[in-house]
């Protein structure tokens, strides 16, 4: 028997939903994404953030450390490493995916630059 739609657990959350769940403003979540690198929401084609459950839990942990326990950002980073260990496979996999995406973007830019340079080299000098 199928469960009603509202009873099924959500897979993704919008930034406003996560902000409400954690108790911070959306701008704080965006700051934490840049500062910690542990929050990595997926982005839709329209660049809307979609947080997974692990992102929500990480945001709650960061909130606990920074807002409740009074850690600095650097101290919270160290504490998260202590709690989760440096070699967290899920974090390593997402780090590798981000690195791969960055390499693809860089290669694309290099290809475009080389193509543009090749075109200019074919033009006569007096053009």
Asked if 43 and 14 sit in the same domain, the reply is yes
Tokens 């108790």: give the residue: 23
Structure tokens of 64?
């606990």
- How many separate domains does the chain show? 2
In a domain, 1, yes or no: no
Calpha distance 99→105 (Å, rounded): 10
pLDDT in tens, 6-44: 556 788 899 999 999 999 999 999 999 988 887 888 888
In a domain, 104, yes or no: yes
Mean residue pLDDT of the chain comes to: 79
Asked if 33 and 49 sit in the same domain, the reply is yes
Give yes or no for residue 49 having a pLDDT over 80. Answer: yes
Asked if 53 and 92 sit in the same domain, the reply is no
- Domain span including residue 57: 8-85
- Name which residue leads in pLDDT, 99 or 21: 21
- Residue 9 has a pLDDT of 75
pTM for this prediction: 0.60
């Amino acid at each position: 028997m199928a469960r009603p739609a509202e009873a099924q657990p959500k897979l993704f959350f919008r930034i406003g939903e996560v902000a409400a769940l954690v108790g911070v403003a959306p701008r704080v979540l965006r700051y934490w994404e840049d500062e910690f690198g542990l929050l990595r929401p997926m982005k839709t084609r329209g660049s809307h953030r979609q947080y997974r459950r692990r992102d929500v839990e990480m945001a709650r942990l960061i909130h606990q450390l920074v807002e409740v326990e009074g850690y600095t950002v650097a101290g919270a980073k160290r504490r998260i490493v202590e709690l989760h260990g440096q070699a967290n496979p899920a974090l390593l996999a997402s780090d590798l995916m981000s690195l791969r995406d960055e390499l693809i973007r860089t290669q694309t830019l290099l290809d475009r630059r080389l193509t543009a340079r090749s075109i200019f080299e074919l033009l006569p000098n007096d053009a």
